[in-house]
Amino acid sequence: MNSNQQKNQHLWWRAGFGPPSDQVHALSKQKPESLFHSILKASEKKPGLFDVADPGLKELVGGNQAMAPGKMQALKPEEKQMIRRQSVQDITRLNIRWLQEMTDSPAQLLEKMSLFWHGHFAAKTVNILYDQALLNIIREHALGNFRDLLLNVSKSASMIQFLNNNQNKKGHPNENFARELMELFTIGRGHYSETDVKESARAFTGWGANLQGDFDFRPRQHDDGVKTFFGKTGNLSGEDILEILISQKQTSVFITRKIYRFFVNEMVDENRVNELASGFFDSGYDIRSLMTKIFTSTWFYEQKNIGTQIKSPVLWMVGMRRQLPMEIQNPAVQLILERLLGQVLFSPPNVAGWPGGKHWIDSSSLMLRMQIPGMIYRSDAILSRPKDDDDVMMGMRDQTFPRNFKKTGSAGAQLFQARIFWDSYFKDFDKTTDADLYAAIRDLLLQRVLPLNENEIIKYIDESNRQQRIASITIRLMGTPEYQLC
């Protein structure tokens, strides 16, 4: 494989969701550093806000002046049920909307960084107004300053509800948010005490959110007594706690290590992390600067970092759509794949988010991944049926997966209906000789050629004409274990 091509594909997979089909010819020509700066520039524009919430739902929770505090208790039982049911439908739309943005947006680094923060600040509320607002916060600050991101996420209705800070009151502190703030969001386990948890929980008393999703500080519920946290004593507020945590260099190390595992390699080079973390801290937590150092370094492109990462279900699904341009005619089928493969956006398994790495693959999910490209090619049915998750679905599967799937003869089967734009894909190989076709497609799709039994693949290739050969090779290679790596 052309070394430049491999490096650029590596960059596209890590700084985005895979190389776009319309830039295949540039992969072997452009220098990686130049490519990165073009990717970075494409992510400089402030992202547009997502707003898929049903107008009726927004009017119900926002237009009732009698609900000034915005408390759920002010609603009638049927109104509460409507909000929950409509939220499930709208979160489905938000999921599909974001997947499309990941696929089509030129701001690849921004969306990939947002996916990272989505797993870092994991929350699950089944409230479209809360989930949508949190995603908009993450996307707005994804490449900005971590201090700003942390503050805005901490004040989001989604995080406040998910970690029970609405119940955090003077005299009866709830420690959930304070504990996870340190363990998962900033300095990490082992770098704080139980006293730190208790004192910081007192500082966050009175931090709440209303039904509309606005931050709602409640002075009467706030403990304004003296607190001691990391050696600082005084009438500390929630903002003070966040600032103290930001001032700890360990926070920079913890965040940088997690970013390294996500974007570079599961096997962490602690010397690299410490060097990067020092620069991250000195920059005042400038995320853009940190990512620039990573993606323009020579060590990022070392062979030990290429083709060693198992694609997450979302990265695998979006990356396939970017490499093989297609229009999914029943887009909600992607949510079935998310459920089957273990990564449903807006529904992390717990507050720690998705563990990633080897956890993405087991014998069942690997087999399904290898079958999906052929299903798309043939518009076959997905016979597997996701298990109901009552914690998320609340018994409303029909609303989440509405009857817009074309049924087959098998109960519960769903067709993967997609129109593949083969003509534009074929053009990528116009200058490739017949003898070099297989190697060219293989090098484009696989970042690391492991002991692949190519004879078994070649044996089943459709040789009826050149176009069928290209299509057949592509689908066969996408259905290999090696395609799961990037």
Q: What is the pLDDT along the chain (486 residues), one digit of tens a residue?
A: 558 999 999 999 999 999 999 999 999 999 999 999 999 999 999 999 999 999 999 988 876 544 444 555 667 888 888 889 999 999 999 999 999 999 999 999 999 999 999 999 999 999 999 999 999 999 999 999 999 999 999 999 999 999 999 999 999 999 999 999 999 999 999 999 999 999 999 999 999 999 899 999 999 999 999 999 999 999 999 999 999 999 999 999 999 999 999 999 999 999 999 999 999 999 999 999 999 999 999 999 999 999 999 999 999 999 999 999 999 999 999 999 999 999 999 999 999 999 999 999 999 999 999 999 999 998 777 766 665 554 444 333 443 444 443 444 344 557 788 999 999 999 999 999 999 999 999 999 999 877 677 777 888 899 999 999 999 999 999 999 999 999
Amino acid (1-letter code) at residue 81: Q
Three-state DSSP at 215 gives strand
The pLDDT, as a whole number, for residue 441 is 96
Rounded-to-integer distance, Cα 178 and Cα 266, Å: 28
The pLDDT, as a whole number, for residue 407 is 42
- 482 neighbors 446 (Cβ within 8 angstroms): yes
Instruction: Tell me how far CA of residue 419 lies from CA of 376, 385, 407, 423, 447, in angstroms.
Output: 8, 23, 18, 11, 26
Rounded-to-integer distance, Cα 258 and Cα 121, Å: 12
- 245 neighbors 251 (Cβ within 8 angstroms): yes
The pLDDT, as a whole number, for residue 389 is 55
Closest by CA position to 316, among listed 335, 333, 341, 348:
341
The pLDDT, as a whole number, for residue 436 is 95
The pLDDT, as a whole number, for residue 51 is 97
Rounded-to-integer distance, Cα 181 and Cα 242, Å: 9
For 142-193, where are the alpha helices, taking DSSP H only? Answer: 146-154, 157-162, 176-180
The pLDDT, as a whole number, for residue 410 is 44
Rg, Å, the chain Cα set? 24
- 298 neighbors 439 (Cβ within 8 angstroms): no
- 18 neighbors 318 (Cβ within 8 angstroms): yes
Q: Is 397 exposed, middle or buried (0-12, 13-18, 19+ CB in 10 A)?
A: middle
Signed CA dihedral, 265, 271, 276, 281: sign only: positive
Rounded-to-integer distance, Cα 12 and Cα 142, Å: 18
Closest by CA position to 300, among listed 15, 5, 49:
15
Partnered with residue 381 across adjacent β-strands are: 415
The reported pTM is 0.94
The pLDDT, as a whole number, for residue 399 is 38
